[in-house]
């Protein structure tokens, strides 16, 4: 009998304690609700919500800012897949180069280089002259690629594409020796305006001649044109270039009638146009932007 009484007493004490805690929580919740939200009591079964940040209402659509139309990183040959896991320590030596956009130095661009087929350099930032300088240990280097900081590249290079010169800026077998009093020459990177395509866009009927058109590019003496064909806009496995590179059409104007060149299109297929602007020496100075997953046109009857 004594044991039962003791157990009941203990349970009563525990129950009272829990009840007291719940009452205390409810009181605090009620006070917070009253203090911050102006309610005498809380809705049954609810807890106070945190104050929300004020929302700004705009009356007109914001301006659409152009994104960077090039690549944020490119590597050559057999550069190790584990490159991101190995970072070269800084040192007394230097690898340096320049970055320009439309011929103007770019300040504030963060980049790093892929070196010796296996390691990434540390990050560096270009200065007001567009110069980057990477601190490395003394030694011999080969530049196998690069990576740009994606978080700022749209702001600094919006609307630009990689200059064709960039492909020659890295990936060669050139050995760069860095020693005391002997900084190494890193690759220079240039970014340029793209060749802007005018049409066709959307659905295109094969019952009439299909004519490709683009805007004239400053300094261009001619253009090379390529067509990429795929069964579906997102079926990259079926993607193929229709024209052999040795037979690419060379155009002096800003349009190309595909039927006049004997280029046959298939009904229901998606097509992307690639255009290279050429200078007087027939070197590529710019290309059209490459939008992954967005074909230029789809053929119908």
pLDDT digits (tens, 9 = 90+) for 114-129: 999 899 999 999 999 9
The yes or no reply on domain 73-192 and CATH 2.60.40.10 is yes
Pairing mode of beta strands 189-192, 93-101: parallel
Beta-bridged to residue 275, according to DSSP, are: 225
Least Cα distance to 204 among 138, 259, 276, 149 occurs for 259
Looking only at the bridges linking them, the beta strands covering 202-205 and 297-300 are: parallel
Distance CA 120, CA 134 (A): 11
Do 145 and 162 meet the contact criterion of CB atoms below 8 Å apart? no
pLDDT at 183: 95
- The whole-model pTM stands at 0.76
The answer to whether 206 touches 265, Cβ cutoff 8 Å, is: yes
Ranges of residues in the chain with a pLDDT under 50 are 1, 31-46
In the prediction, which pLDDT does 244 show? 87
The whole-number pLDDT of residue 42 equals: 39
The CA-atom distances, in angstroms, between 253 and each of 57, 190, 212, 242 are: 47, 26, 11, 21
Q: CA distances (Å), 10 to each of 6, 17, 22, 52, 111, in order?
A: 6, 11, 19, 45, 69
Residue 293 CA to residue 235 CA, distance in Å, equals: 9
Q: What pLDDT does residue 35 have?
A: 42
Here the tokens at position 244 are 């052999």
Residues 6+ away with beta carbon under 8 Å from 143: 95, 113, 114, 115, 170, 171, 174, 176, 186, 187
Can you give the pLDDT at residue 79? 84
Rounded CA-CA distance 217/287 in Å is 10
**CB-based contact 270:203 (threshold 8 Å):** no
Helix (H) or strand (E) holding 11: helix 2-37
CB atoms within 10 A of CB 76: 16
Under DSSP, the state recorded for 226 is E
Q: Quick one: how far is CA 135 from the chain centroid?
A: 26
What is the distance between the terminal CA atoms of the chain, rounded to a whole angstrom? 96
**Structure-token pair, residue 237:** 């496995």
| Fold held by 197-300 | Immunoglobulin-like (2.60.40)
Residues written for the chain: 301
Q: Where are the domains of the chain?
A: 73-192, 197-300
Q: For residue 177, what are its two tokens? A: 């020796």
């Amino acid at each position: 009998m004594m044991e039962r009484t003791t157990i009941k007493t203990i349970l009563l004490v525990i129950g009272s304690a829990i009840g007291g805690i719940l009452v205390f929580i409810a009181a605090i919740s009620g006070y917070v609700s009253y203090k911050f939200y102006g309610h005498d009591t809380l809705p049954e079964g609810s807890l106070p919500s945190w104050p929300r940040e004020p929302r700004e209402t705009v009356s007109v659509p914001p301006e659409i800012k152009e994104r960077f139309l090039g690549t944020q990183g490119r590597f050559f040959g057999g550069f190790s897949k584990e490159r991101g896991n190995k970072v070269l320590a800084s040192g007394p030596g230097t690898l340096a180069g320049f970055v320009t956009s439309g011929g103007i130095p770019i300040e504030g661009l963060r980049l790093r280089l892929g070196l010796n087929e296996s390691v990434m350099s540390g990050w560096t930032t270009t200065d007001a002259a567009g110069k980057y300088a990477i601190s490395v240990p003394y030694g011999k280097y080969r530049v196998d690629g690069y990576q740009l900081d994606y978080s700022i590249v749209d702001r600094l290079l919006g609307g630009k594409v990689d200059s064709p010169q960039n492909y020659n800026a890295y990936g060669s077998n050139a050995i760069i020796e860095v020693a005391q009093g002997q900084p190494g020459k890193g690759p220079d990177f240039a970014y340029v305006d793209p060749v802007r395509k005018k049409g066709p866009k959307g659905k295109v009927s094969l019952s009439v001649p299909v004519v490709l058109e683009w805007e004239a590019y400053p300094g261009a003496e001619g253009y090379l044109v390529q067509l990429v064909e795929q069964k579906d806009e997102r079926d990259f496995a079926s993607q193929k270039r229709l024209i052999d590179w040795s037979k690419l059409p060379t155009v002096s104007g800003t349009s190309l009638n595909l039927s006049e060149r004997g280029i046959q299109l298939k009904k229901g297929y998606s097509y992307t146009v690639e255009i290279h602007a050429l200078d007087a020496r027939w070197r590529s100075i710019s290309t059209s932007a490459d939008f992954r997953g967005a074909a230029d046109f789809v053929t119908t009857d």
